[in-house]
C-alpha cells in the first residue's frame, strides 16, 4: 500500500471514529411521539433492553407503522455502525484479517460502546439504552465488512 493510501485510510479511521463518538456518546434526543421500543427496563436512570432479538419477540407489541419502521431502522443502522470502521482497519491492520479476530474485535468494540453509554447515562443522564441486540448487530456489521474485504481480495487471503 502506498503512503498516500495509508494516510487516507488513517484519516478515514480517525474521522469515522469521531463520528461514532458523536453518534454514540452524546445525549440522545427523545423519540418522536408514538414511537416506543417494547421491552425497555429501567433501573434508576439506567435503561436496558436485555431481551435478545427483542425486535422479533416483541413484534406483537408494536402499535404503529412508524414504530415498526423505527425499530427496524435502528437494527439496520446498528449493523452499519461498525462496518466502515472495520473495513478500513482491515486494510491497516493485517493481524485483524482472521474471521475470529474480526468477530471478537467487533464484539468487544460494541460492548465497550454499550458500557460507556451506561456510564455516561449514570453520571449525566444522556438518555441512552444498553441493548443486547446492539452487540450482535454491531458484530454482524464488522463480520460483513470482513466478508466484503475477503470478496475484494479473494486471492490474497487465507483464513
Q: What is the pTM of this model?
A: 0.87
DSSP 3-state of 37? coil
Residue among 107, 89, 92, 108 at smallest CA distance from 146: 89
What pLDDT, on a 0 to 100 scale, did the predictor assign at position 119?
A: 93
Which value, to the nearest 10 degrees, does the dihedral of the CA atoms of residues 52, 113, 147, 16 take? 140
Sequence-ordered list of residues with C-beta below 8 angstroms from that of 156, at least 6 positions apart, any chain: none
DSSP 3-state of 39? coil
Cβ atoms of residues 79 and 140 within 8 Å: yes
Looking at residue 31, what DSSP letter applies? Answer: P
Q: What is the mean pLDDT of each run of 10 residues along the chain (159 residues)?
A: 93 96 87 63 89 79 80 90 97 97 98 95 89 95 98 73
What pLDDT, on a 0 to 100 scale, did the predictor assign at position 115?
A: 95
Residue bearing cell 427523545: 30
Count CB neighbours of 101 within 10 A: 14
What pLDDT, on a 0 to 100 scale, did the predictor assign at position 39?
A: 77
What pLDDT, on a 0 to 100 scale, did the predictor assign at position 86?
A: 98
What pLDDT, on a 0 to 100 scale, did the predictor assign at position 135?
A: 96
Give one DSSP letter per residue of 100-142, joined into a string.
Answer: HHHHHHHHHHHHHHHHHHHHHHHHH----EEEHHHHHHHHHHH
Amino acid at each position: 500500500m502506498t503512503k498516500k493510501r495509508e494516510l487516507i485510510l488513517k484519516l478515514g479511521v480517525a474521522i469515522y471514529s469521531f463520528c461514532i463518538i458523536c453518534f454514540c456518546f452524546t445525549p440522545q434526543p427523545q423519540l418522536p411521539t408514538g414511537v416506543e421500543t417494547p421491552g425497555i427496563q429501567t433501573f434508576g436512570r439506567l435503561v436496558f433492553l436485555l431481551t435478545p432479538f427483542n425486535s422479533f419477540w416483541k413484534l406483537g407489541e408494536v402499535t404503529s407503522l412508524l414504530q415498526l419502521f423505527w425499530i427496524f431502522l435502528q437494527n439496520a443502522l446498528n449493523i452499519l455502525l461498525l462496518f466502515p470502521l472495520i473495513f478500513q482497519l482491515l486494510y491497516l491492520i493485517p493481524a485483524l484479517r482472521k474471521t475470529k479476530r474480526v468477530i471478537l474485535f467487533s464484539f468487544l468494540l460494541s460492548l465497550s460502546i454499550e458500557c460507556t453509554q451506561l456510564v455516561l447515562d449514570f453520571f449525566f443522564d444522556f438518555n441512552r439504552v444498553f441493548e443486547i441486540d446492539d452487540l450482535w448487530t454491531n458484530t454482524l456489521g464488522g463480520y460483513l465488512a470482513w466478508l466484503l474485504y475477503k470478496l475484494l481480495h479473494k486471492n490474497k487471503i487465507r483464513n
